[in-house]
Amino acid sequence: MLIKHARLLDGTAADIRVEDTITAVEADLSARPGEDILDAAGRTVIPGLHDHHVHLHSAAAALRSVTVGPSDVRDRAGLAGILAEAPVGDDGWIRAVGYHEAVAGPLDRNLLDEIAPPVPVRVQHRSGVLWTLNTAGLERIGRADHPDGRLRSDDHGWSNTLPRNDTGLSQISRHLAGLGVTGVTDATPDLDATDVDALLAAHLYQRVHCLAPGKRILHDTDLDLDGLADWIVDRHDHGTPVAVHCVTAAQLAVTLAALQIAGSRAGDRIEHAAVVPDDSIAALADSGVTVVTQPNFVAERGDQYLDDVPAAEHHELWRLASLIDAGVPVALSTDTPFGDGDPWRAMRAAVHRTTGAGHVLGAAERVAPHRALAMFLGPAERPARPRRIAPGEPGDVVVLAGPPAEVLDALDATMVEATIVAGRPVFER
């Protein structure tokens, strides 16, 4: 494909020939016989966005789920009402996602038995790491004697008993293409080779990279420094970089200590880094690992943070500018479906740090628009190195309405006019 009359982010006018890779970027390229031509007419062309931390299977399943987060329901009666009206899936389950204790307090099997229909019900916490099942659900998976019905998402002993239905993957892929997303990194920790092959065979438009088997979720209740260090050494010995899920200060501290013991290697990552105390920044920079974080949660959950987190710790949440200034490689993602899957909203959150109610959370962590965009442009293997419109780069590009200044001012998905993967259009508005 030949893109004529494009405008690059730095304002350069250029024609771009796009195949599996970008093969030419020049002031004036002549079309080849039979070559598809897209006239950008002065519009901005950028590398395709890469969302560096998503959960494709969960996103597909979320299409068949009811949402029960604080923005959807306010109390126990409201939760009961949503579950009562929720459709029972073909697998016999009611599936709900996005729960937070602000809705109706801690959730357990007894509460679900009281308020939910007498069919198998499972409710996922908005963190993604915990499910709560009612008694009917526990009986379905052979754990009728479980004391509270609270099961970890990474516990394969029960999760592998559930049927996987990925009929929504193509819908998710089309949606992402409309947002200008040409690649994703799936962060689901329990994917195996069969799952990866299934993803790649699901007619997804995007290039897909998977973190498994190098992904590890930590829990504050059973942090094990020596065990984590041994796991990192083992993964490195197998040639696999690690990606450690850190959403609390304790998890980050243990991870940094484990990396000091085991050593780090190229490609190692810390996922989320939701809380980074001041005294952890230097160690984080010294470790050399890349932080993949989600500033969209400032916009989506910031008002809850303002209520739940002491004011003295607000500046530690979802840091960006302070990490970059310290030399930490940083890339962005949405964590869809646990976060809103629109990367442009995540960029705006990185720039403005504004909560849903209009408060500013962590003003010192703001970054400039071009920096926010660049943190979605890195390749899967080197997330913090932005790709360019240049020969040899992957042939994944996005055409955006308007000149560069308007694009950077708006950072809005409605500006995506065409998405091209490996030289082939996968979305046109």
Classified as helix, coil or strand, 328 is: coil
Domain assignment present for residue 37? The answer is: yes
Q: How many CA atoms lie within 13 A of 205 on its CB side?
A: 27
Pair (37, 113) in one structural domain: no
Pair (290, 409) in one structural domain: no
Q: What is the pLDDT along the chain (429 residues), one digit of tens a residue?
A: 999 999 999 999 999 999 999 999 999 999 999 999 999 999 999 999 999 999 998 999 999 999 999 999 999 999 999 999 999 999 999 999 999 999 999 999 999 999 999 999 999 999 999 999 999 999 999 999 999 999 999 888 998 888 877 778 999 999 999 999 999 999 988 777 677 777 777 779 999 999 988 999 999 999 999 999 999 999 999 999 999 999 999 999 999 999 999 999 999 999 999 999 999 999 999 999 999 999 999 999 999 999 999 999 999 999 999 999 999 999 999 999 999 999 999 999 999 999 999 999 999 999 999 999 999 999 999 999 999 999 999 999 999 999 999 999 999 999 999 999 999 999 999
- Sheet arrangement for strand 150-152: 66-67, 94-99, 121-125, 130-133, 150-152
Pair (7, 95) in one structural domain: no
**Residue 140's domain is classified under what CATH number?**
3.10.310.70
- Number of domains observed in the structure of the chain: 3
Can you tell me the distance from the alpha carbon of 250 to that of 233, in angstroms, rounded to the nearest whole number?
21
Last residue of a domain, one of 117, 138, 159: 159
Last residue of a domain, one of 102, 128, 159: 159
Interhelix angle 225-237/249-262, nearest 10 degrees = 50
Residues 209/183, Cβ–Cβ less than 8 Å: yes
How big is the chain, counted in residues?
Answer: 429
Q: How many CA atoms lie within 13 A of 333 on its CB side?
A: 29
Pair (127, 97) in one structural domain: yes
Pair (190, 323) in one structural domain: yes
- Chain-centre distance of CA 60, in angstroms? 14
Domain assignment present for residue 193? The answer is: yes
Domain assignment present for residue 125? The answer is: yes
- 39 bridge partner residues: 4
Please choose, from the candidates 202, 209, 259, 206, the residue with its C-alpha nearest in 3D space to the C-alpha of residue 230: 259
Locate all alpha helices (DSSP H) within 146-248, ordered by sequence: 156-159, 169-178, 193-200, 225-237
Domain that holds residue 24: 1-48+387-429
Can you tell me the distance from the alpha carbon of 108 to that of 149, in angstroms, rounded to the nearest whole number?
6
| pTM for the whole structure | 0.95
- Chain-centre distance of CA 383, in angstroms? 13
Task: Extract the tokens encoding 291.
Answer: 């932080």
Pair (426, 411) in one structural domain: yes
Domain assignment present for residue 60? The answer is: no
**Residue 400's domain is classified under what CATH number?**
2.30.40.10
